[in-house]
Structure 1
Amino acid sequence: MAMRREKSEYAIQAVENAFDVLEQFKGAKGSLGITELSANLGLHKNNIFRLLATMENKGYIEQDLNTEEYRLGIKSLEIGRAFLNHTGLLKVAKPILNELMESVNENVYLGLLKNDQVVYVEHVESTQALRVASRVGTRLSPLCTAIGKVILAHYSEHDRERIIANNKFVQHTPNTIMDKGKYVAELAKIREQGYSVDDQEYDFGVVCVGGPVMDYQKKVVAGISISGPSLRMDEKALRDIFVPKIKECSLKLSRAIGYVG
């Protein structure tokens, strides 16, 4: 009988290096440059460049043409979605998102904080003629989005400060919060009330309300949101319809993945 060989004997160094590069983005700021990756991994810049070029060709890495830095690509998101499907979050979330959309008839999203940005991993589209246009894989700032704010509000102070530092306050609309002190106060309010509102802070004319998705450890793992035109999501509609619904459904999804509270 042949002796069973250790799996490490079959390892291919170039493949290991490629995965080492990918793992650098796991806890990183939104993007990384070749010099930083080279220093972190102890690999020559030419090697890093070739690895990035290969992964970019396959869609696992993409380059920001403005900064020339690299970030995770859509294929990496697809792998992440497959894992979420396997672990049950998307499978559990889908019927709850469908139910939420049918009850309010506005776009509904499930989002994660990945590389300090909000990434939509699932959505259910409204049947309204006038509706918000976003898709799975869309990346948005956490500083002025309902999902981003509700996730950050439930993070530790250390993680919150790091993510705020890694993102710039950009004036998307006149309603965008630009002062860090006011923003931190807004997060405290969100944490206390259990939901967030993006009142035309990212897109003028678009209002979003978000709720946290908590796991069995009572840690926030995702957020869900309802997005629609401000003419339908005014102050009264938020109070009477959308806030109660987002709180109900975010709690329902949280309990479905083990949250007790």
Structure 2
Amino acid sequence: MARKEKSEYLIQAVSHALDLLEQFHDEVDELGVTELSKRLKLHKNNVFRLLATLESRGYIEQNRVTENYRLGLKTLELGQTFIKQMGLLRQSKPILEALVRECNETIYVSVLKDFHIIYLDTVETTMTVRVVPRVGSRLPAYCTAAGKAQIAHMSEEELDQYLPNRELQRFTPNTITDREELKRQLRVVAEQGYAVDDEELDEGVKCVSAPIRDYTRRIIGAVSISGPSMRFGTERIERELVPLVIKAADEISSKLGYTK
């Protein structure tokens, strides 16, 4: 029996679904059914069925404000899995180790998922007093340095989608619970390129973080320096820790193909 070419095994519906997902790239964040129909040269009914299927599995989601569609969190999850397995952790480990040698504080690398931070890896300080390692922990983005370093680059619409209308949960006296005050601080974070957690999640713990970008220029994670507040005075944060964490984030980003 003659061996068939792989192209003969292609499933058209799956191919169309992948074509649809690939329309979201570069600066194209959202698309409507009509525009997708034109791009894919498919009838609107077929496009709607593809969208409904992908939406049910989390690969596509609808913006309730614009009624357009965009990539869903499942695509982010797949991308983060790839990064974890093939890129981010492997490339960041030696940089995290070097960073610990420079400041002797605990270092984390994390990713954003569902408006929460998930710590993927850590290198601990040799100091006796230290923060508890949180690899695998799922923490709120709005009151962590790693979270703020990433959500600071979200649009107003994205922030409004994730932030509850009610007051944000308070974890410490320093937690920012007012939505508008948080947005104001996030604008500052986006401008300066780093974020600080000033005992906003845990009393007695401070953290400094900067975002990590990949070759597409998208933010795919963050690197953080964390430790007890008694060692994280304002002067040390500004003169030593901020430059170090930005340098580390830039080095990891560079290894992932990012160029400024």
Above 0.5 in TM-score?
yes
**In the alignment, is residue 91 of structure 1 matched against residue 90 of structure 2?**
yes
Matches of 2:236 and 2:61, distance apart in 1: 38
- Per-residue displacement from partner, 1:126-152 (whole Å, max 9, x unpaired)? 111111113321000001000000100
- 1:106–1:126 Cα contact (<8 Å) kept: yes
Tell me what 1:145 maps to: 144
Pair 1:133-2:132 in alignment: yes
Q: Is the 8 A contact 1:116 1:166 kept in 2?
A: no
Residue 86 of structure 1: CA displacement? 3.7
Equivalent residue for 2:46?
none
2:115 matched to which residue of 1? Answer: 116
Q: Counterpart amino acid of 1:210? A: S
Residues 3-152 of structure 1: matches in 2 within 5 Å?
A: 6=9, 23-24=57-58, 83-152=82-151
1:149 aligns to what SS in structure 2?
A: helix
What TM-score, normalized to structure 2? Answer: 0.70
Change (3 A) 1:156 1:215: farther
Could you tell me the TM-score, scaled by structure 1's length? 0.69
Partners of 1:143 and 1:167 within 8 A in 2: no
Residue pair 2:207, 2:225 contacting (<8 A) in 1 also: yes
Tell me, what secondary structure is at the counterpart of 1:108?
strand
Instruction: Identify unmatched segments of 5+ residues in structure 2.
Output: 12-53, 63-73
Percent identity between matched residues is 36
**1:183 is matched with which residue?**
182
Aligned 8 A contact 1:25 1:115 in 2: no
**Which residue in 2 is equivalent to 1:235?**
234
Give the aligned partner of residue 37 of structure 1. none
**Any runs of at least 4 consecutive aligned residues in structure 1 with deviations exceeding 6 A, and if so which?**
25-28
Return the alpha-carbon distance in structure 2 between the equivalents of residues 135 and 87 of structure 1.
Answer: 22
Instruction: Quote the Cα distance in structure 1 between the aligned partners of 2:216 and 2:199.
Output: 33
Alignment of structure 1 residues 148-159 onto 2, 5 Å: 148-159=147-158
For residues 187-231 of structure 1, give each alpha carbon's deviation from its aligned partner in whole angstroms, at most 9, with x where no partner exists.
000011111000000000000001011122322111111110000
Task: Give 3-state SS (helix, strand or coil) of 1:170's partner.
Answer: coil
Q: Which residue of 2 is the match for residue 196 of structure 1?
A: 195
Amino acid at match of 2:122: H
Q: Compared with structure 1, are the counterparts of its residues 210 and 26 closer, same or farther at alpha carbon in structure 2 (3 Å cutoff)?
A: farther
Partner of 1:221: 220
Kept in 1, the 8 Å contact 2:167–2:178? The answer is no
AA in 1 matched with 2:125:
S
- Name which of structure 1's ranges 228-237 and 83-92 shifts more when overlaid on structure 2: 83-92
Give the conservation status (yes or no) of the 8 Å contact 2:170–2:177: yes
**Cα distance change of structure 1 residues 228 and 166 upon mapping to structure 2, 3 Å threshold:** farther
Say whether the 8 Å CA contact 2:108–2:225 is kept in structure 1: yes
